[in-house]
Amino acid sequence: MKVLFQSADISSMRSILILAAVMFVSGCVIQTTPFMGSGLVISEFSADFPTIYSGDEVHLGLKLSNTGSVDANVVGMDMTGLDLKSWKEKSNSCKELSRTPIKPGGSVNCIIALVAPDIGNLEVPFTPKIHVTYSYSSNAIALVTVGTTDELRRIALQGGSLPYEAKSSAGPVSIDIKASSPIRASGTSAEFPVRMTVTNGAGTACSGKCSPSTWNKIKLSITTTMQSAGCPSQIELILYKGQSNSFFCNMKAASGDAGAGLTQKSIEVQSDYGYIIEAETSLSIKRRTI
């Protein structure tokens, strides 16, 4: 895998090397498998011509769009499917992507121009694949309504759960918080479970900065205005592409909380993580004949 660039904070052991990807130019465009979803997405990755000749210049174009709720910061990019030792780079604007955060609703384009190598007498197909690494954050908060002692006992006897409101930010990793049952009412307090679920989209989540040791993991920070029983302030979960993972924490509405009428208590889950997305396109080279 060839490194196109890495931001300075993850490239202390490598020199920065920029070679990258692709956008709109006149002519026939071949575009395949853009990466869609929430967060930073690859909405375009294409070559300007489907077939070129040895020695011709080809433009690969990349468009990134932030469909999530917070800023996205591109920290690295690499490309597979091309032998970048034999393709000569003429120009590249993708190296600028790491300098400015991409705001929610915003998008950026970059183009790299490459000169096709000599491939002999054959027509050779290529499938360049771009991998973009960026940093992002996801958040969820639930407000749990804690009632009077009698109300807590009534809900407990009915096997219900405490009423709550929850909201989540939009991103490649989503977080969901649900107050669950059973409620155990004792005196003027109640203890109940809270289920927290994280769901990954189609990319690779990283616990912190992306490296093989952090791939397919997510780290969560948990804060609450209630007492928690056995709930850590931080937890790391395995999280593969397209999958979810859940865990439970027991929360306790203490005597003062439950006995003072209706009150709202909060549970918040925050995650700052790296994320890798990818897309591919196709083109072929022919030998130029005179």
Q: What is the pLDDT of residues 222-240, one digit of tens each?
A: 999 888 877 899 999 999 9
Residue 174 has pLDDT above 90, yes or no: yes
Is the pTM higher than 0.85? The answer reads no
Confidence at residue 260, expressed as pLDDT on a 0 to 100 scale: 52
Cis-peptide into 182, omega within 30 deg: yes
If you average pLDDT over every residue of the chain, what do you get? 82
- Separation of CA 77 from chain center: 14
Residue 15 has pLDDT above 50, yes or no: no
Confidence at residue 85, expressed as pLDDT on a 0 to 100 scale: 81
Q: Please check whether residue 137 is in contact with residue 70, taking contact to mean a CB–CB distance below 8 angstroms.
A: yes
48 by Cβ neighbours in 10 Å (0-12 / 13-18 / 19+) ranks as: buried
- 119's CB contacts (< 8 A; 6+ apart) are 54, 285, 287
Q: Which of 40-54, 70-84, 149-163 has the lowest mean pLDDT?
A: 149-163
Q: Please determine whether the domains at 2-135+276-286 and 137-274 fall in the same fold group of CATH.
A: yes
Rounded to 5°, the CA angle 151-152-153 comes to 90
Residue 253: name the closest of 261, 244, 245 by CA.
Answer: 261
Q: Any idea which fold 2-135+276-286 has?
A: Immunoglobulin-like (2.60.40)
Instruction: Report the top-level CATH class of 137-274.
Output: mainly beta
Q: Please check whether residue 89 is in contact with residue 136, taking contact to mean a CB–CB distance below 8 angstroms.
A: no
Map out the domains of the chain as residue ranges: 2-135+276-286, 137-274
- Separation of CA 108 from chain center: 17
